[in-house]
Structure 1
C-alpha cells in the first residue's frame, strides 16, 4: 500500500465541513490521503481514528485520517462529495477518537446533507454572479 497526502481532497473536506456547519469536526485534526495498491475490490474510502488508548499513550488528542482508495478517482464529482460526507458522518460529535456506526451513517442522511451542500453552493454561486 502507498499513501499520499491529498491536499485537493483536504480542501474539499474543509469546504464541506464549513458549508454544512459540522463544527464538531476539527479540520486541523483530520487529514485526507489517497491510497494505491489495496487488494479490496469494493471499498471506496475508509475513516481511521487514533483511539483512546493510543491518545493516552502518546499524550495527544483525537486525530482522524480519511483514506480514499483508487475506486474513488473513477467516481463523478457528485459521488465523490457524497463519499466525503459519508466518511465525515463517521466522526462523532465528541471528536474523541471513536466512530458513528452505519445506523446513523446511512444513504438517507448522506443524501440530505449532499442536497443541502449543493443548495448552499448554488446560492453562493448565484450571489456572486
Structure 2
C-alpha cells in the first residue's frame, strides 16, 4: 500500500500577516476588515472569503495589553511625579483614566495581531486550511 503525500500548504509570512492584523485587515488579503464589531472578529473576510473564525485568541491579547501598558505607565508616572508636583487627588483621576484610554486604544489592534499570527502559523482552527 502506498500513501499519497498531501501537497505542501502555501507559506504564510507571519510578519506581513501580523502587520495586517494590527491594522484591522484580513491577514490573507490585507483588504477586508478582520473585525465586524469592536472586538468581535468577522467569521470570514468580505473581500477574499478567508475564514477567520478559527482563532483562539482568548485572553492573550489582554495579557499583552496589560504588560505593554505597565511598561508605558509606570515609567511615565515616575517621571511625571519626579518632575511635577501634581496633587494626589488629580493623580487619582489622571492615571486610571489614561490607562483606560490607552488600553481601549490598544486592545483591538493587539487582538487582530494575535489572530493574524495564529492564521499565519496555522494554529488552532486554522490548522487544516489552505
Q: TM-score by structure 2 length?
A: 0.25
Structure with greater strand share of residues? 1
Question: Which has the larger Rg?
Answer: 2
Per the normalisation by structure 1, the TM-score is 0.25
